[in-house]
């Protein structure tokens, strides 16, 4: 059973569009939910982090978690060409010792066209 599923896209939108990116997860033990942005040939960069069900907003970005349906979303408003990147959802839970290993989705490649 795949732990985190994410539609890999690619997704292409015009500048200014609202973008919706989604993931589902299977393990109800997951407690923390993150969105990373990864530019080509770079490491993942943390974009948003949520803990509880509900919405969290940061500028043009809104992260949404629904623990009852195990569904994670990222919305980007007024998308810009600079938002073009691969977006990775990730989850984690405390797994003992000193460890918060991340479990990633496959990533969605987003292109915002000027």
Partner 1 sequence: EPEVTQTPSHQVTQMGQEVILRCVPISNHLYFYWYRQILGQKVEFLVSFYNNEISEKSEIFDDQFSVERPDGSNFTLKIRSTKLEDSAMYFCASILRQVPNEQFFGPGTRLTVL
- Residue 45 is a binding residue for partner 1 (CB under 8 A): yes
Q: Residue from 34, 76, 85, 112 that binds partner 1 (CB under 8 A)? A: 34
CB of 34 to partner 1, least distance (A): 6
- Residue 79 is a binding residue for partner 1 (CB under 8 A): no
- Residue 61 is a binding residue for partner 1 (CB under 8 A): no
Q: What is the CA 109 to chain-centroid distance, rounded?
A: 11
- Residue 37 is a binding residue for partner 1 (CB under 8 A): no
CB of 4 to partner 1, least distance (A): 8
Q: Residue from 64, 83, 105, 108 that binds partner 1 (CB under 8 A)? A: 105
Please provide the DSSP assignment of 48-101 as one string: EEE-SSEEEEETTEEEEEETTTTEEEEEESS--GGG-EEEEEEEE---STT---
Cα 51 to Cα 47: distance, rounded to the nearest angstrom: 14
Cα 32 to Cα 80: distance, rounded to the nearest angstrom: 27
Q: Residue from 72, 79, 83, 107 that binds partner 1 (CB under 8 A)? A: 107
Q: Are strands 45-50 and 19-25 parallel, antiparallel or unpaired?
A: unpaired
Footprint on this chain of partner 1 (rule: CB under 8 A): 4, 31-32, 34, 36, 41-46, 49, 88, 90, 92, 94-107
């Amino acid at each position: 059973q795949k732990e985190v599923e994410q539609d890999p896209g690619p997704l292409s939108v015009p500048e200014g569009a609202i973008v919706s990116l989604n993931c589902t997860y299977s393990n109800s033990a997951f407690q923390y939910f993150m969105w990373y942005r990864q530019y080509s040939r770079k490491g993942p960069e943390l974009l948003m982090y949520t803990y509880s069900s509900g919405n969290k907003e940061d500028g043009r970005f809104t992260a949404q978690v629904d623990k009852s349906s195990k569904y994670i979303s990222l919305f980007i408003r007024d998308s810009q060409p600079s938002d073009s990147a691969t977006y990775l959802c990730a989850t984690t839970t405390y797994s003992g010792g000193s460890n918060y290993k991340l479990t990633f989705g496959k990533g969605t490649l987003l292109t915002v066209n000027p």
